[in-house]
Amino acid sequence: MAEPEALIYIESDSKLGLQAQIRQKLVESIHLGIFKPGMRLPSSRKLSEQLGVARNTVVIACQQLVAEGLLTSRARSGLYVARRLAAPAYSPHAPGERGSITGPWQQWLKSRANPDIARIAPADARDYPFCFLDGQFDTSLFPVAEWREAGRYALGSGDIGVWSAATGGLDDPMLIEELRTKILPRRGINARAEEILITVGAQQSLYLLAELLVDASVSVAMEEPGYPEMRHLVQRRGAPIVHQPIDGDGMLVDGALDDSRIVYVTPSHQAATGVTMSLERRRALLEKAAQRDMLIVEDDFDCESNYKGYPHPALRGMDRENRVIYVSCLSKVLAPGLSLGFMVAAPELIAEARKLRRLLAGQPPRNNQRAMAHFIRLGHYDALTASLHRTFGQRWDALRQALNFYLPPWVALAPSQGGTVLWVQGSDDLDVARLVDEAARRGVLVEPVDHFYALSRRPLNCFRMGVSGIPAHRIREGVARLAAVVREFTAGATEHLDHCVGRRLLRRDLQVTIPGAVMRTQRVYGEPVEILLHADGSMTGRAGFAGEDRDYGRWWLDGDRYVRQWQRWSYAEPASYAVVLDGDRIKFYLESGFIEDTLAFEAAVIH
């Protein structure tokens, strides 16, 4: 490879002479880095043969370039590209400066991917110390050694023989079998081989389905807020869309769905809010689909993380009428590099999708299919899933804990049983657009939610925080910095001790009021909390719907301030507050004078 074999040719009708053309081609090749500094040029004999011109013509052209410092000549060795390039004596026709076709490219583009939906994280997202964007993975999560082992098996001669052969569009039978017998049953899905198609990421599955099933005559129901890229795929097909709201049980199932023919849902963790669709809602959806003769596209894009409760079976697993088309990928962590997704559906549909896949993009590389099959067979997939479940679960807990610590009066979270993302609703006056910018300036990336909404009615005070790209130990500081911005932006509306409503409790008041009192509140993620302040200075806390999360701690007075410290909760750190009683509510104020939290208060009953 020492001598590049650039194909230089002569245009017989060019207005330039032969020498000038040779010069121009050489300069261009050097300029582009095809002939790199220090590289040996093909011999003048070879060039003259290739070009069909006299050798002397080549020699003269080259001599000029030597004189100009672009080439250097070494005795008995030939011509080399100069290591330090002098500026070319005349400007070559650089490819970036190709004459352009008349008018701008816009005139040629008959369809475009909507730029709005292509919401890509900033290229330097990984350089931010606190990146709470979903879908950003720290590469430490990638199972390097395990993938390497699987990859090596797939490089065995026997395996190469299988995956390198043309198959007329069939996927790797080994991967299909691993999926069928190991991955899908755990999601509650039984499938035969002809019901499975491997695709270039889950995205290709969605695209194939939009092409095959949707046109202007097919009304499609979609979640609002929901997955913008799927909405865009459906819009491209000219279909009318029914925007169906989300509540704490997932997408609403009501009469608004009745005239849709296809319903697109993300039941595991709703694409925008992370809400898990309840089993009751799933049943209602299947029933509605049967009544109204609908298809359901179930996008299980984030199937690995369900930290609370037992995972529900996929809709496809509950489906007895072949109405559900299940789309998923093998792992979010493996996805950016490997792009392996799949769909499970009726064999008739899979056959059509296979034909269309061939026409539009060819199939996912079969060497990767084979490597993934080994990865599953070796047990690495199980291990990865378990490890991600643990890792993301810890981070998710850490994020909920930090939000609960720093931002209780300001935010509420959408109910969620897991996933890698939390939907955060700020106080009504929070301007998220400003928050996102200012937080980024302080090193914290959070995600605005505009692009999840199709309709113009959208909240201005919501944002999302993901944990796929941030290690657990950074989460607290990230949230603390974010909280500082939130407080600044909502300071006007935030109560201050200087003009508080209610009665300030000084040392003597506290001594009387606190012992034996009960305080009640909710965590930002909705769980109830009850705190008993005992007369002996100890305290007991119970949280969760069954009081399953318990902690113990101490409280005491420091001058006119109330101080408390839990064994686990609130990072086991002591915190000191000024206290105000306002009817049956008790309010705690930080050193800064700003309020931190308000709780329901019940003084001790004197027996």
Subset of 35-94 contacting a second copy (CB under 8 A): 36, 50, 93
Of 32 and 440, CB closest to a second copy: 32
Q: Which is nearer to a second copy, 186 or 308 (CB)?
A: 186
- Report if residue 310 touches a second copy, rule: CB under 8 A: yes
Shortest approach of a second copy to residue 272 CB, angstroms?
18
597 binds a second copy (CB under 8 A): no
Q: Which residue lies nearer to a second copy by CB, 352 or 560? A: 352
- Taking the complex as a whole, the smallest distance from the CB of residue 394 to a second copy amounts, in Å, to 21
H helices of 164-260, in order, are 173-178, 184-186, 201-213, 228-236
Q: Interface residues for a second copy in 318-337 (CB under 8 A)? A: 318-323, 334, 336-337
* Selection from 427, 418, 426 nearest residue 400 by Cα: 418
The answer to whether 285 contacts a second copy (rule: CB under 8 A) is no
| Residue 520 found at the interface with a second copy (CB under 8 A) | no
> Total number of residues binding a second copy (CB under 8 A)?
130
Shortest Cβ 175–a second copy spacing (Å): 13
Q: How far apart are CA 487 and CA 406, in angstroms?
A: 10
Spatial CA neighbour of 155 closest among 167, 147, 166 = 147
- Judged by CB, which is closer to a second copy: 126, or 542? 126
At residue 491, the 3 state secondary structure works out as helix
CB of 63 to a second copy, least distance (A): 23
- Cβ-based nearer residue to a second copy, 138 or 431: 138
Query: Please, which residue, 87 or 165, has the CB nearer to a second copy?
Result: 165
- The least distance separating a second copy from the CB of residue 529, rounded to whole angstroms, comes to 28
H-only helix segments in 463-536: 472-489, 507-513
CB of 50 to a second copy, least distance (A): 8
**What residues contact 562, with CB distance under 8 A and at least 6 apart?**
505, 510, 514, 555, 576, 577, 578, 579, 588
Stretch that binds a second copy, among 76-84, 164-172, 474-482, 584-592 (CB under 8 A): 164-172
Indicate the angle between helix axes 366-377 and 144-154, nearest 10 degrees: 120
8 Å CB contact between 554 and 542: no
Which pair of tokens denotes residue 376? Answer: 């599953």
Nearer to a second copy, 349 or 578 (CB): 349
- For residue 16, the Cα-to-chain-centroid distance in whole angstroms is 53
CB atoms near residue 292 (< 10 Å): 13
Minimum CB–partner distance for residue 231 and a second copy (Å): 11
Residue 91 CA to its chain's centroid (Å): 45
SS3 content of the chain, % helix, strand, coil (to 5): 40, 20, 40
115 binds a second copy (CB under 8 A): yes
Residue list 222-281, contact with a second copy (CB under 8 A): 229, 232-233, 237
Whose CA is closest to 402, among 481, 335, 289, 332? 481
| Interface with a second copy, residue 33, by CB under 8 A | yes
Paired residues of 464 in beta bridges: 423, 447
Residues 5-24 that bind a second copy (CB under 8 A): 5-9, 11, 13
Least distance from C-beta 75 to a second copy, angstroms?
28
CA distances in angstroms from 488 to 48, 137, 370, 439, 491, listed in the order given:
73, 30, 54, 11, 5
Task: Report the residue from 74, 77, 84, 108 that binds a second copy according to the rule CB under 8 A.
Answer: 108
Least CB distance from residue 290 to a second copy, whole Å? 9
Residues 374 and 175: their CA atoms lie apart, in Å, by 8
Torsion of CA 453, 457, 459, 460, to 10 degrees: 100
32 binds a second copy (CB under 8 A): yes
Which of 169, 172, 277 shows the shortest CA–CA distance to 223? 277
Binders of a second copy among 334-363, rule CB under 8 A? 334, 336-341, 346-349, 352, 355-356, 358-363
Neighbours of 603 (CB within 10 A): 16
192 binds a second copy (CB under 8 A): yes
Q: Which residues pair with 601 in a beta bridge?
A: 519
**Closer CB to a second copy, residue 279 or residue 603?**
279
Site for a second copy contains 105 (CB under 8 A):
yes
Which residues, 6 or more positions from 506, have their beta carbon under 8 angstroms from its beta carbon?
Answer: 560
Is 552 a residue that touches a second copy (CB under 8 A)?
no
Stretch 132-161: interaction string toward a second copy, x if CB under 8 A: ---xxx-x--x-x--xx--xx--x-x--xx
Report d(CA 246, CA 348) in Å as an integer.
32
- Asked if residue 430 binds a second copy (CB under 8 A), the reply is no
Angle (CA) 561 567 571, round 5° = 75
- String marking each residue 377-396 x if it binds a second copy according to CB under 8 A: x-x--x--------------
Q: Least distance to a second copy from the beta carbon of 336, Å? A: 4
